[in-house]
Every structure is written in structure tokens, then in C-alpha cells.
Structure 1
């Protein structure tokens, strides 16, 4: 009892103490979850700023598009700079439109089908850009607690091993391994909870912007279809 009492005060239960005294497997789990958490926050910040810029660009483009400016003038203005979102969809469709007219396409049905296909491809490209790296947030959000739980189970195994080696059930023998194990679970939750919340929010924002892309593509396709019928 005196030996245990002499050793127990030297156990460091601070965050750093729990980390440095942990088994290498538990340490690996902690470092992996910490790295995943840092990367998740980098994605969250980057995507939040990206979506804010994308929404602002969409609003600006829609104002220009519906301002009465000619399609040719708008196309020239958008072509001179790197466009994204609605601007990229518009430029892709206008390129196909101009290419078909330059080649004197005889089939208006085929021309409309090519325009629709170009719009679909442009939307898919922009959607992929909007949703890129969101799957990592979903993965961390779903797997993080289980990875932390693995560290917990491993730490508790070490605690029982310490009990068997010391032939003592004194709490001081197992307190440190159990604390390390629970710390691994805590880090798993710290990584997973923000990832899940951010994934739901960012996925919703991405879905709304993709919906705007699809809605604009339908409207623009209708405008070009009317021009095709008029020229026919």
C-alpha cells in the first residue's frame, strides 16, 4: 500500500501527461485523430470561404445576365476572366452555341441535344468542385468515434494488464491507463462532432448552389431553344 501511495502522486493527469504516458498504439490513435481534426477544420474554413465567394459570384452573374446585356457581350466579358459557377456554365454553353453556328449545323434537334449535354457536363464539373473534400468530413464524422473507441479499448486492456501484473485492484494502478483510454475517446469525439455538423451544413449549402446551377441551365437552355426556333 505504501509503494502504491509513493508511486501514485507521480502520475501526471494533465493532457500532455496522459499523451506522453500512453501506449504507442493509443498515441498513434490520438495523433491520427488530432491530424484528422486539424485537416477537417482546414476544409471547413476553406469551404466556408469558397461557398461565400461562389454565392457572391452567382449573385453578381445573375444581375448581369438579367440586366438586358446581350449574350455576346456577356460571353466576351466572362471569357476574358476565369469564371466559375454560373459563369462557367454560361461560357461552356455559349462556346458550343458559337461552334455549332460556325459549322452551320443543319439539325436544330441535334444542336439542342449537344447544348443540353454541354450544360450537364459543366454542371457536373462545378458540382464536383463544390463537393470536393466533403467526403473526408463525412468519413471523420462517422469513423472518428470508433477510432477513438479502439484507443479506449486498447487502453483498458493495458489497465487490466497492469492489474494482473501488480496483483492489486487499487485504483492508483489502473487510473492512468483508464484516463489515457478515455482521453482517446474524447479526441475522437472532438474530431467527429464538428466534422458531422460542418458536413451537414456544407452539404446543404453545396446542394443549394448546385440547384441554382441546374435552374439557370434550364432557363438558359430555354432561351437558346427559342432562338433556335426563331432562326429556324
Structure 2
């Protein structure tokens, strides 16, 4: 290699900040978008881990309370008008509809079982929506970030070749900076996409298990109320 070319290459700064500073406006915009998407994805991942852990703990605690043998009416009075967690809200929805289905003479309004089940299903649907909020962003980031990064790379390489054509110089010192800047965009795209895909799959599976627990509890509670209706 020509000594002057080698000397010029050694003097160049190839740190991430330097590569970002030398990049074109379009490539800079792509990089900033990917960095922002990565930070936002990690914020969702951390927040969902905390939320899911709390939801499991609350569900386990309420299950112990529910199956302790305490009368359902007394348990409902303890929960009050503002349940603190999802399991309590599902239970409260069923109990509220159970009480509303009684006439003043003590008899039951027809169709009570179906209304109780529907009321708990609506509550479960709301809790599922809350649990899954934000997971769509992880899925979108995982599927689009590599292509956004690739767009930045293609754009950067295009500008690098244009610079080579204008300078009429194909030395490594001229080619390497533009190519390096372009490849950083692809690297950032993968950096954003890989964790997003991995944790989306995990969090989606965790959410399904939690929601499945809510549905199982609702079915068991509905069975208990059904026995009372039949008796």
C-alpha cells in the first residue's frame, strides 16, 4: 500500500461519533431513528417485565385468598368498589353482575349465568389489552429496523461512490470512510431488531400465560356460581 495512503487512513477517526458526524443528513436521520427505536424498545421490555412479574404475584396472592374458604360476599366487601389488580377486577365484575341478577324478592333474573360470564370476559379482554400494550411496537421494530438500516447503508454507499467519482480517487483512504459510515446504519438496525424480536416472543408468551390464568380463574368462579344458581 502507498505510504501516503496508509498514513492518511491511520489519521482518520473511525469511532462511532466520528462516523456519525461524517455521514450525510439522510444516513444521520436513519441512525437517529434506529437509536431512538432501540431505546424505546428497551424501555418497553423493562416495563413489561416489571408489569408481568407484578401481575403474576397479584394473581397468586388473590388465588390463595379466593380458595381460603372465605365466603364470596365477604371477600367482595373486602375488595371494595375499586379493585387493585386484574384478578380482583375479574372477580368483582362477576360478583357485581351476580348481585344485579337478583330480584328484590330474592329470585334470579333469567340469563344470569350468561351475563356473569360475559361481564368477566369483557374485563379479561380489557386486562389483556393492557398487558399487550406496547408489544406491537416491539414486533414492528423487529421486522422493520433491519430494512431501515439497510436503506441507510445503501444510501451511504451511493454517496460514497459519488464521492469517489467526483474525486477520481479509488484509494482505500477515500473509499473506507464512506463504506464504514454506511455499514453503521445496518449495524444499528440489527442492534434494534434482534432484542425486539427475542423479547417480543418471550413477552407475548408470558402475556398469553397470564391471560390464560385469568380465563381459568373466571371459568372456575363461573362454575361455583353455576352451582349456586342450580341449587
Change in CA separation of 1:63 and 1:4 when aligned onto 2, cut-off 3 Å = same
Given that residues 101 and 108 in structure 2 are in contact (C-alpha distance below 8 angstroms), is that contact kept between their aligned partners in structure 1?
no
Q: Distance in 1 between matches of 2:203 and 2:77?
A: 32
The count of corresponding residues between Structure 1 and Structure 2 is 229
The Cα of 1:106 is off from its aligned counterpart by: 4.7
Residue 112 of structure 1: aligned partner = 113
- TM-score (structure 1 length as normaliser): 0.93
Cα RMSD, aligned residues only:
1.8
Q: Where does structure 1 lack aligned partners over 5 or more consecutive residues?
A: none
Q: Distance in 2 between matches of 1:153 and 1:35?
A: 21
| Cα distance per residue 1:40-84 (max 9 Å; x no partner) | 111111100000000000000000000101111111122255422
Residue 71 of structure 1: aligned partner = 72
The Cα of 1:8 is off from its aligned counterpart by: 4.0
Residue 177 of structure 1: aligned partner = 178
Q: Distance in 1 between matches of 2:7 and 2:167?
A: 15
Given that residues 84 and 126 in structure 1 are in contact (C-alpha distance below 8 angstroms), is that contact kept between their aligned partners in structure 2?
no
Q: Distance in 2 between matches of 1:87 and 1:146?
A: 44
Residue 228 of structure 1: aligned partner = 229
Q: Where does structure 2 lack aligned partners over 5 or more consecutive residues?
A: none
Moved more, 88-97 or 57-66: 88-97
Residue 166 of structure 2: aligned partner = 165
| Cα distance per residue 1:149-172 (max 9 Å; x no partner) | 011001110111111111122121
Residue 151 of structure 2: aligned partner = 150
Residue 61 of structure 1: aligned partner = 62
Q: Distance in 1 between matches of 2:67 and 2:175?
A: 70
Moved more, 93-102 or 46-55: 93-102
Residue 131 of structure 2: aligned partner = 130
